[in-house]
């Protein structure tokens, strides 16, 4: 049963993100969004975390894989090396837009209702201080969210 519940959630999430991506002209990004969630290294830990026995380490590892496989996550754009402090790279516009679509689509999939950009803006303002974003990327996000309200 938990496999079915998780599959339904993932497909619902992908659908809502795809709709938002299509609205922004990101056809391929909308179709390809979060395909890595179907890989065993993500599928099973996510499914267990949301619908089964939570195993923090397994889920944390799956989340790390997911971030590093999907450039629409801001964490993907942080370069960590041995010599200097982390370098926060600028996200290309198509991935910033996909990230925004992801935020809106996740809200709709989780809450089941018609999420809007105002809700995304509230979520962003609550979480923005935890996000390591390049200044240009942050400016684009904030400009987009302000424009869409």
The structure tokens listed for 30 are: 């909308």
In a domain, 99, yes or no: yes
Contact call for residues 44 and 37 (beta carbons, < 8 A): no
| DSSP collapsed to 3 states, 107-140 | HHHHHCCCCCHHHHHHHHHHHHHHCCCCHHHHHH
Within a domain: 41: no
Give the total number of structural domains in the chain.
Answer: 1
Q: Would you say 86 and 80 are in contact if contact means Cβ atoms under 8 Å apart? A: yes
| Residue 114: per-residue pLDDT | 65
120 domain residue, yes or no: yes
Q: What is the pLDDT of residue 84?
A: 87
Residue 118: per-residue pLDDT: 87
**Is residue 109 a part of any domain in this protein?**
yes
Contacts of 78 (CB under 8 A, 6+ apart): 86, 87, 88, 89, 132
Q: What is the pTM of this model?
A: 0.93
Does 62 map to a domain? no
- The boundaries of the domain holding residue 9 are 2-34+70-148
The mean pLDDT values, 10 residues at a time, for the chain of 149 residues are: 94 96 97 98 96 94 98 97 91 98 91 80 94 98 92
Is 59 within the bounds of a domain?
A: no
Residue 137: inside a domain: yes
Q: Looking at the domain assignment, is residue 64 inside a domain?
A: no
């Amino acid at each position: 049963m938990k496999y079915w519940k998780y599959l339904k959630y993932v497909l619902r999430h992908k659908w809502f993100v795809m709709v938002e991506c299509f609205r922004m002209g990101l056809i391929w990004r909308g179709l390809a969004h979060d395909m890595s969630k179907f890989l065993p290294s993500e599928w099973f830990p996510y499914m267990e975390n949301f619908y089964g026995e939570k195993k923090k380490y397994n889920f944390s590892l799956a989340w790390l894989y997911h971030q590093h496989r999907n450039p629409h996550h801001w964490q993907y754009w942080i370069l960590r090396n041995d010599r200097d402090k982390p370098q926060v790279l600028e996200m290309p516009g198509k991935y910033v837009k996909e990230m925004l679509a992801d935020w809106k689509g996740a809200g709709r999939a989780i809450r089941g209702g018609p999420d809007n950009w105002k809700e995304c803006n509230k979520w962003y303002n609550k979480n923005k201080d935890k996000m390591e974003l390049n200044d240009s990327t942050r400016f684009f996000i904030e400009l987009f969210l302000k424009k869409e309200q």
